[in-house]
Structure 1
Amino acid sequence: MKTIPVRHLKISQKEPNLSGDFMIKNLQELLNGKDMVHELHRHDFYFFLALKKGTGNHEIDFVNYDVTDHTIFIIRPGQVHELELKNNSEGFMIQFNTDFYYPIDKGMNLLLQKVSASNYYQLEEDLFSRINLLLISIFSEYKDKAEAYKEVIKSNLHILFIELLRSRNTNNKDSNTKDLYIQESLEKFLHLLETNITKVKQVSKYASMLNLSNYQLNTITKQTLGKTASEIINEQIILESKRYLLASSNQINQIAYYLGYEDVSYFIRFFKKHTGYSPEAFRKKLT
Structure 2
Amino acid sequence: MNKRFPVYDICSLSDAQDEDILVSRFAPYLQVHQNLKLPHKHNFYHLVLFTEGGGTHAIDFEQYPVLPYQIYFMIPGQAHSWSFEEHVDGYVINFSVPFLESFLLKHDHLEQYSFFNGIPDRSVINIPEAFRASIIDLFENILQEAAQPQQQTTDMVRTLLLQLFIKVGRIVGPRQTPSVTGYNYTLLKNFQKLVEANYHILKLPKQYAELLFITPNHLNALSNNLLQKPAGEVIRERVALEAKRLLINFDLTITEIAQRLNFADNSYFSKFFKKQAGLSPEEFRNKIKNATI
TM-score relative to the length of structure 2: 0.81
Contact 2:79/2:245 (<8 A) preserved = yes
Is the alpha carbon distance of 1:89 and 1:153 closer, same or farther for their aligned partners in structure 2, counting shifts above 3 Å?
A: same
Rounded to whole Å, the distance in 2 between the matches of 1:23 and 1:110 is 18
Is the alpha carbon distance of 1:108 and 1:126 closer, same or farther for their aligned partners in structure 2, counting shifts above 3 Å?
A: farther
The equivalent of 2:125 in structure 1 is: 121
Instruction: Write out per-residue CA displacement over residues 221-267 of structure 1, whole angstroms, 9 at most, x where no aligned residue.
Output: 21233210111111111121122223324222101011122333322
RMSD (Å), alpha carbons? 3.4
The equivalent of 1:277 in structure 2 is: 279
Rounded to whole Å, the distance in 2 between the matches of 1:35 and 1:268 is 33
User: Which stretch of structure 1 is more off in the superposition, 264-273 or 147-156?
Assistant: 264-273
The letter for the 1-side match of 2:61 is F
**Displacement of 1:71:** 0.8
Is the alpha carbon distance of 1:163 and 1:283 closer, same or farther for their aligned partners in structure 2, counting shifts above 3 Å?
A: same
Rounded to whole Å, the distance in 2 between the matches of 1:27 and 1:38 is 13
Contact 1:52/1:69 (<8 A) preserved = yes
Q: Report the secondary structure of 1:99's partner residue.
A: helix
The equivalent of 2:201 in structure 1 is: 199
Is the alpha carbon distance of 1:37 and 1:59 closer, same or farther for their aligned partners in structure 2, counting shifts above 3 Å?
A: same
Rounded to whole Å, the distance in 1 between the matches of 2:206 and 2:230 is 12
The equivalent of 1:77 in structure 2 is: 76
Q: Does 1:230 align with 2:229?
A: no
What stretches of structure 1 of length at least 5 have no aligned partner? none
Is the alpha carbon distance of 1:100 and 1:236 closer, same or farther for their aligned partners in structure 2, counting shifts above 3 Å?
A: same
The letter for the 1-side match of 2:64 is Y
**Displacement of 1:151:** 0.9
Q: Report the secondary structure of 2:99's partner residue.
A: coil
The equivalent of 1:106 in structure 2 is: 106
Q: Paired residues, what number?
A: 282
The equivalent of 1:10 in structure 2 is: 11
What are the within-5 Å matches in structure 2 for residues 16-165 of structure 1? Answer: 16=17, 19-31=18-30, 38-85=37-84, 88-102=87-101, 103-106=103-106, 109-111=109-111, 114-117=114-117, 118-165=122-169
User: Which stretch of structure 1 is more off in the superposition, 41-50 or 114-123?
Assistant: 114-123
Rounded to whole Å, the distance in 2 between the matches of 1:64 and 1:141 is 33
Q: Does 1:244 align with 2:243?
A: no
Q: Identity of paired residues, percent?
A: 28
Larger RCO: 1 or 2 (CA < 8 Å, sep 6+): 1
Contact 1:35/1:86 (<8 A) preserved = no
TM-score relative to the length of structure 1: 0.82
Instruction: Write out per-residue CA displacement over residues 30-87 of structure 1, whole angstroms, 9 at most, x where no aligned residue.
Output: 3569988620111111111111223121011110000001111112111111112455
User: Which stretch of structure 1 is more off in the superposition, 3-12 or 69-78?
Assistant: 3-12
Rounded to whole Å, the distance in 1 between the matches of 2:158 and 2:132 is 19
The letter for the 2-side match of 1:99 is P
The letter for the 2-side match of 1:38 is K
**Displacement of 1:274:** 2.6
The letter for the 2-side match of 1:167 is I
The letter for the 1-side match of 2:274 is K
The letter for the 1-side match of 2:172 is R
Rounded to whole Å, the distance in 2 between the matches of 1:286 and 1:165 is 33
Contact 1:246/1:286 (<8 A) preserved = yes
**Displacement of 1:115:** 3.1
Contact 1:268/1:279 (<8 A) preserved = yes
Instruction: Write out per-residue CA displacement over residues 106-140 of structure 1, whole angstroms, 9 at most, x where no aligned residue.
Output: 28624466431233111202223222211111111
Rounded to whole Å, the distance in 2 between the matches of 1:206 and 1:84 is 39
Q: Report the secondary structure of 1:277's partner residue.
A: coil
The letter for the 2-side match of 1:202 is L
Is the alpha carbon distance of 1:56 and 1:182 closer, same or farther for their aligned partners in structure 2, counting shifts above 3 Å?
A: farther
